[in-house]
Amino acid sequence: MTFPALDPSVICSGFTNDGQNPPVAGQTASSTSTNNYINFCALTLPDTPLTNGAQITTGSCNPTPIGLIPAVDQMPSAKFTFPQNFATIAANTPFNLTMAIQNMQTGIFTNAALTYFAAPQTLNPSGQIIGHSHFVVESLTSLDQTTPNDPEKFVFFKGIDNAAVNGVLSATVAAGLPAGVYRVCSINSASNHQPVIVPIAQHGSLDDCSYFTAVDGGAAATGANSTASATGAANSTAIATGANSTAVATGAANSTEAASAVASAVATGKAAKGKGGKAAASSAVVASASAVAAAPAVSASASAPAVAAAASASAAPAVAAAASASAAPAAAAAANASAAPAVAASASAAPAVAASASSGKSSGKGKN
């Protein structure tokens, strides 16, 4: 694009309207232009440098047009699949951040040091924004923190250079995160790193955030189609969920009441619609803990983990922990994994029960 003059055919007559005819109380009049603001940066704050493709930390003025804007039915949308909201993961343990995304061609990015905001947003032949996403993890003081974070401070940042696989973007946090409370958010961007622009003011969020906790000895998972395991910490609830998986473990040591942990797993292998391979042995585990002040509530072993990941979210079993023997039988577990039975353990009297599913059929529809 080398034409040196403004083409009269692209001049927007609507830019001459300040939006206040008739006046609307509380509404601010817009600035106006008869030449598409072509010289806006020359007329704005004195001594403001042009962005000129650079990330200027002291501020700048960018003359690049917004560019192509998608139709309403092509607005991007995203949802984190791991960690899910309020999940608990193991501290200092590698894991994968994963996010489902739709209506966007991902994996396209330009040189952020030389072409930052330097070209307009573009669309592919399907009318979807061409660009990429970023994942940023910030530390919080607590899950109910109400003060805004400092956007200059974060514990993990990754531009997602690869295209989504089956609609899912991922990034590995290789060193894990120290024990603490966090939120992970996406920044969905056009190719030249500007946040995506859509055609209407009233729309759902184009990005997503998920709030989670990292604890020492908490649930550990490594992303999509993975098996999560957990060891319950004192006075803690550990929940680990990966894509196509569900895992729950509860610990309640240092309490005057007993605690129970229930995990039920359904494995699919290559099965579809309830037909196919066999579920792994010891896939359902029920454990109960007596009210001992210092004893850990849940412990996981390699042979019979306290938590197993369900191979399909649609087949995730019902899990319940009862507080009294009257509310839950001493043991309820079925060997047929296709039934995905509810398993309950009495916190006061029920012994630990483990059900083998080695002869059951898988009920999942996906693949590990």
Tokens 């590990």 identify what position? 368
Quote the percentage of the chain above a pLDDT of 90.
56
CA–CA dist 367, 361 (Å, integer): 14
Secondary structure of 58-103 as H, E, C letters = CCCECCCCCECCCCHHHCCEEEEEECCCCEEEECCCCEEEEEEEEC
Q: Check if the beta carbon of residue 299 is closer than 8 Å to that of residue 231.
A: yes
The reported pLDDT for the residue numbered 342 is: 37
Count CB atoms within 10 A of the CB of residue 276: 17
Residues in CB range of 145: below 8 A, 6 or more apart:
181
pTM: 0.62
pLDDT over 90 at 316, yes or no = no
357: which 2 tokens?
């599913």
pLDDT over 70 at 245, yes or no = no
> Largest alpha-carbon pair distance within the chain?
84
CA distances from residue 41 to 38, 206, 297 in whole angstroms, order as listed: 8, 29, 63
The reported pLDDT for the residue numbered 123 is: 98
Phi then psi for residue 43, to 5 deg, are -105, 0
Smallest CA-to-CA distance from 290 within 252, 327, 325 is with 252
For the segment 296-307, the average pLDDT, to the nearest whole number, is 35
CA–CA dist 119, 189 (Å, integer): 12
Query: How does DSSP assign 242-269, residue by residue?
Result: -TT--EEEE---SSSS-EEEEEE----T
Task: Give the burial string for 223-241 (b: 16+ CB within 10 Å, else e).
Answer: bbbbbbbbbbbeebbbbbb
Query: How does DSSP assign 160-188, residue by residue?
Result: E-SPPBTTEEEEEETT---SEEEEEEE--
pLDDT over 90 at 29, yes or no = yes
CA–CA dist 84, 246 (Å, integer): 11
Instruction: Give SS3 for 291.
Output: coil
CA–CA dist 343, 337 (Å, integer): 12
For the segment 163-188, the average pLDDT, to the nearest whole number, is 98
Q: What angle do CA 135, 138, 144 make, to 5 degrees?
A: 125
Domain boundaries, the chain: 257-368
pLDDT over 70 at 60, yes or no = yes
Question: Which range, 42-56, 105-119, 209-223, has the best average confidence (pLDDT)?
Answer: 105-119
Strand (E) positions, the chain? 77-82, 87-90, 95-102, 104-105, 129-140, 156-160, 168-173, 180-186, 189-190, 209-215, 237-240, 247-250, 259-264, 284-289, 353-355
Quote the percentage of the chain above a pLDDT of 70.
59
pLDDT digits (tens, 9 = 90+) for 276-290: 333 333 333 333 333
Contacts 24+ apart (CB under 8 A), 323-329: 323/257, 323/347, 323/348, 324/348, 325/349, 325/350
CA distances from residue 352 to 36, 294, 328, 329 in whole angstroms, order as listed: 73, 19, 13, 12
Identify the residue with better confidence: 344 or 142: 142
- The C-alpha R_g of the chain, in whole angstroms, comes to 27
pLDDT digits (tens, 9 = 90+) for 80-137: 999 999 999 999 999 999 999 999 999 999 999 999 999 999 999 999 999 999 999 9
CA distances from residue 103 to 71, 189, 232, 287, 326 in whole angstroms, order as listed: 10, 13, 40, 44, 51
